[in-house]
Structure formats: structure tokens, C-alpha cells
Structure 1
Amino acid sequence: MPQPVFIESIGLLGPGLNGWQQASAVLLGHTPYVPAATELPLPAGLPPAERRRTGPTVRLALGVGQQAVAASGRDAAQLPTVFASSSSDGHNFHAICEALAQPEPLMSPTRFHNSVHNATAGYWSIAASAMRTSNVLCAMDGSFGAGLLECVLQAGADAEPCLLIAYDTGYPEPLHSQRPIPHPFGVALLVTPRPTPRSLARLAVTLTQAPATAMPDDALEALRRAAPAARALPLLAAIARAETATVVLDYLDTLQLEAEVASLGNHANA
């Protein structure tokens, strides 16, 4: 049995999912799932000049991260972070490609610094005044699984809390046709090495070759498959149910993550 860690709080934004309290009712089946545009908040904590430079990707990542931190009551500046995204800022990449295709290509400095995969982590460090370590990962459709594995191992090895922020916003056309991610989706998990009074669930992760767990609701399953960060939905549903359960999450082509989840009775406190 691998060393368990604990989920203390959750942040969540997606189509028809606006925060853990509302989303957990949907995942429990108490409220029908009604797809709607993802509500992206303004990036709190950034100075006006930095806020103007941000796009949907930064607003999504900061939004879910700040939800999780607020629910935990912790100081965001003191939390190591893991960021995971399959594509980062696809709209910014599209704009750069358009600019480079012009007869006289000109590159905006803002576009350039937003193009790197760790740009979101940089904005987070400014908004949270954070000076702790930050890892930024990409693993195509397994990006959430890669981020979760990194966060779990880091929290266990360093014996301190770690914040996972996974997010995807997709691309405009023509890139959308090649890599369709129709809806922004982001999730944040605050992982601790020991249980706390706020802990929602105990989590133990191992590797497996079993197929990934599907969502029983067709619309939620379509969402799970559409956005790499939404591969978190089976895990989130297990936490919402406040039961002991095992779910399998996408990771690599032939290797998945098996997550054993046990409720600690605080499922309403996220």
C-alpha cells in the first residue's frame, strides 16, 4: 500500500461547474448537470499592468487555485505548487502564429512572455507573493494524472502541503480542429501529507494498466474526454460521494493511475 496523502480542499471551474460546492451536488446527482459557458473570474491579486496582460488561461488557473487556497485557510505564499496543462495558452499561440505568418512578422513582448509553458506559474507567484518551488508539467491527455502523481509524491517526500493546479483552455481554429478542447476546465487540489480538521479524503495512488474510469452521466463523460484537466472528474466524483472507492485516471498510453479514495467526513468543506 503506497503512503497516503490527504485532499484538504478543491477548486473547480468548468462548463456548468462553478466551484466545489455547486459541482459536488452535480457529481452526486443531486443537481442535474447543465452545460454552460465556463465562468472565468478576473485574476485577483495581480497589479493592474499584469492583469491587463492575462488571458483566459491565467484567469482559469488562478481562479481554481485561489478557490482551493481560500477553502483551506492557508497562506498561498507558503505553498509549493504543481501546474499541469496539456496546451497552456492556445489562444496566445494562435496569435503568435498569425503574427509570424505576416510579410513583416512582429512579435509582441507580451505575447512572447505568455508563450512559455510556465507563464501561468509566474503570474501565480506575483498574485500570491509566492517564493516557493513550482513545477510545471505537460503530458498531453495525461496531464492531470502527471500533475497529480507529482503533487502526491512531492507532498509525501517533503512532508508539507502542495497545491496542484490543472487547467486547459483549448485553441481557436484552425488548431482547434487538430486539437479540440471545446471548454475551459480547471481543477485545483490542496494535498497534505497528514490529515487536518479540514481534510476531505485520504488518497493513495499507484500505477495500473486497467482502463480509465468513465463517468456514468453521458454529458459528464463527454466533458471528461474533451478536456485533459477534466480527466479529474472520476476522482472528484469519488470525493463528492464521501465513500471509499477506487478510480482509474488517464496517465500514459499504456499506464494509468489507480487512486484509492477514502472519505474523512468533511466533504462539504472544500
Structure 2
Amino acid sequence: MIRVFVEAVSLLGPGLAGWDEASAVLAGLRPYAPAPAVLTASPLLPPAERRRSVPTVRLAMAVGAEAMERAGRDPETVATVFASSSGDPDTLHTILETLASDEPEISPTRFHNSVHNAPAGYWSIATRSRQPSASLSSHDESFQAGLLEAVTQVATAGWTVALIAYDLPYPEPLNSVRPIAGAFGTALVLTPQPTGRSFARLDLTLDRTDMPATRMADAALEALRAGNPAGRALPLLGALARVASGDGAETVVLDLPPGSHLVLQVGPPC
């Protein structure tokens, strides 16, 4: 079992504009009303990088910045784990379209936005962070893999780590073979010991028995959870929202194929 503590959570997705609004929905205090997520260029970036930033970068920067602000943390002091199943879908679509054209010349800006660690690069520019950073992908389990990586870093190195997970839909025709529901991103700031800002603890274990993954009670939220790889975070976010509103501990199960699960005991920090 690995125990870490949660200082802050952020969220941006369809009908979930920021943690204050989203936590009330996830805790069952307000009905869920889906609406497209609005992605804007981060004011943390210098003007040139702001112009070059793509939707994935905007989403990752938005949730990362909100989590840091909520935690009262200087981003320069926090290690990061970025997790996404697909990188930037619009950029990948444009590159493939260009390669299939009569003039297959890829612009340098398109190329550097296509690499999987592009959001991590923009983050380091915006925050001047020289802290360790990992960028990973694990198909539909990218959030779970990112959470496992972040928790392991917290437990073994004693770092404060921000997990930043995000996924967006592809344009057609890629959407037909890899459909992703909406734009969804979330970030968690995790610490090895409780602090004055900690509002929850996570006790994580790996389990290889046959147990079902936790699902969302609301049908529209369940569709988002099932349809967006980063949305696999929703059951955990719901448990954190309920703990923040005063409820007791609960168990969340997340798939981690092949044949494993992450079992999370979520409760107050003490």
C-alpha cells in the first residue's frame, strides 16, 4: 500500500469548468449539464509561445495552473507527470493530411507540437520549472498509468508531484477509428506528508483479482468517463469531491490492464 496526500484538484471538461463548479456536480450537490469546454491560451506563456500553443497545451496548462493556484504552490518547485492517450489530435491530423498531399512539407511548429511531451515543454517555459517531468501514454489507461507513476515518485523520492492528464477528440476521419468524447483534463497535486492544505489522502494498492471498475451514477458523466481516457479519473474525482464536502472514506477501483486494478481508499487526511 502507498499513501499520498492531496493538496489540490483541478478539472476542465464538458459542463465542468473548474473545480469549484465541478466538485459540486461530482458530489451530487448540483445536476450535471454537459456543455463544450472552452480552451484559451494560457496567460502564463510568453506571447510567441501563446500563439503557437495548440488545444492540448491549452487544456494541460489550464488544469495545471488551477491546481497550482489551489495548492498555493510555486510551479518551479513541483515535479510533474503528464499523461495523455493521444497527444494533440489536431496537429497529428494536420501532419498526416500534409504527408498525404502533393507537397508533404511539415512546418517546424507543427512538428514540435506533435511530440508527446510538448505540453511539458510549454509548462517548463511558462513556469521556469527545472523539476523532474515525465510524459507518458497508455491508451485508455493513460490516467491510471500517470497516477501510478506520480504516486510512486511521491512515495519513493519524497517529491511533491502534480499529475496533469488530458485528452481531446480527433477530427475525422481519425475520429471514426479512435473516438474520444469531448475535451477533458484534470490535475492533482500530491504530497508525501499532509500539509496545511491537504484535504484528502489516497491509499493505493494494486489488485489482480476480478473486480469491476467504479462507474459514475449519472449516465452523462458515465458516458464521459467511458468515452475519454482522461475521463477515467472521474470516479476518483467524485470521491475527492465528496470527501471535500464532508463525507467519509470510500473505495474507488480503476482498471489497469492486463489483469490488474488500482484500488484507492479515499478519505480525509487524518
Instruction: Provide the residue aligned with 1:204 in structure 2.
Output: 203
Instruction: Provide the residue aligned with 1:259 in structure 2.
Output: 264
Residues in 2 aligned to 1:130 and 1:82: alpha-carbon distance in whole angstroms: 13
Q: How does 1:46-61 map to 2 (within 5 A)?
A: 46-61=45-60
Q: Shift of the alpha carbon at 1:226? A: 0.7
Secondary structure at the residue paired with 2:121? helix
Residues in 1 aligned to 2:220 and 2:182: alpha-carbon distance in whole angstroms: 13
Residues in 2 aligned to 1:119 and 1:240: alpha-carbon distance in whole angstroms: 30
Instruction: Provide the residue aligned with 1:143 in structure 2.
Output: 142
Residues in 2 aligned to 1:260 and 1:178: alpha-carbon distance in whole angstroms: 35
Q: Shift of the alpha carbon at 1:3? A: 3.1
Q: How does 1:177-256 map to 2 (within 5 A)?
A: 177-208=176-207, 209=209, 210-242=211-243, 243-256=248-261
Instruction: Provide the residue aligned with 1:30 in structure 2.
Output: 29
Residues in 1 aligned to 2:97 and 2:230: alpha-carbon distance in whole angstroms: 27
Q: Is the 8 A contact 1:15 1:35 kept in 2?
A: yes
Instruction: Tell me the amino acid that sits aligned with residue 257 of structure 1.
Output: L
Q: Is the 8 A contact 1:13 1:187 kept in 2?
A: yes
Instruction: Provide the residue aligned with 2:6 in structure 1.
Output: 7
Q: Is the 8 A contact 1:141 1:250 kept in 2?
A: no
Q: Is the 8 A contact 2:41 2:53 kept in 1?
A: no
Q: Deviations over 1:95-154 (max 9, x none)?
A: 000110111211111001111101110000001111111001100010000000000010
Q: Shift of the alpha carbon at 1:15? A: 0.2
Q: Shift of the alpha carbon at 1:41? A: 2.9
Consecutive unaligned residues of structure 1, counting only runs of 5 or more, are 266-270
Q: Is the 8 A contact 2:5 2:269 kept in 1?
A: no
Instruction: Tell me the amino acid that sits aligned with residue 258 of structure 1.
Output: V
Instruction: Provide the residue aligned with 1:167 in structure 2.
Output: 166
Runs of 4+ deviating beyond 4 Å: none
Q: Shift of the alpha carbon at 1:42? A: 2.1
- What is the root-mean-square deviation in Å for CA atoms of aligned residues? 1.1
Instruction: Provide the residue aligned with 2:113 in structure 1.
Output: 114
Instruction: Tell me the amino acid that sits aligned with residue 268 of structure 2.
Output: S
TM-score by length of 1: 0.95
Secondary structure at the residue paired with 1:67? helix
Secondary structure at the residue paired with 2:130? coil
Q: Is the 8 A contact 2:200 2:240 kept in 1?
A: yes
Instruction: Tell me the amino acid that sits aligned with residue 184 of structure 1.
Output: A
Instruction: Tell me the amino acid that sits aligned with residue 236 of structure 1.
Output: L
Instruction: Provide the residue aligned with 1:156 in structure 2.
Output: 155
Q: Deviations over 1:170-228 (max 9, x none)?
A: 21000001111130100000000000111121101111242210111111101100110
Secondary structure at the residue paired with 1:10? strand
